[in-house]
Amino acid sequence: MGREREARTGKLFLDYRRTFESGDAQQVADFYRFPLHYYAEDGAKSVVNRLDFVRHVEKLLRFYRRLGVRQIVGTVTDQLPLNAGSSLVSLNWTLLRSEAEKPVELYTATTRYLVTDGPDGLQIDALFAVDETARLRRALRAPH
- For the segment 4-28, the average pLDDT, to the nearest whole number, is 93
Please give the share of the chain, as a percent, with pLDDT higher than 90. Answer: 60
Q: What is the pLDDT of residues 55-114, one digit of tens each?
A: 999 998 998 888 888 899 999 999 999 998 999 999 999 999 877 788 888 888 899 999
CB distance 69 to 97 below 8 Å: yes
Crossing angle of helices 50-67 and 132-141, rounded to 10°: 20
DSSP-derived letter for residue 142 is: S
Split at pLDDT 50, 70, 90, the class of 27 is very high
In the chain, the amino acid numbered 33 is: R
CB distance 26 to 117 below 8 Å: no
- Cα atoms found within 13 Å of the Cα of residue 48, Cβ hemisphere only: 25
Whether a cis peptide bond, with omega within 30° of 0, leads into 35 is yes
Q: Can you list the positions of beta strands (E) in 49-120?
A: 69-83, 86-99, 102-118
**Domain ranges in the chain?**
3-141
Using alpha carbons, select from 106, 112, 68 the residue that is nearest to residue 92: 112
pLDDT at 139 (0 to 100): 64
DSSP-derived letter for residue 43 is: S
- Mean pLDDT (the chain, rounded): 89
pLDDT at 144 over 70: no
Q: Where is average pLDDT lowest: 21-25, 83-87, 90-94, 137-141? A: 137-141
In the chain, the amino acid numbered 116 is: T
CA distance 16 to 92: 13
Q: Give the architecture (CATH level 2) of 3-141.
A: Roll (3.10)
pLDDT at 10 (0 to 100): 93
pLDDT at 45 over 90: yes
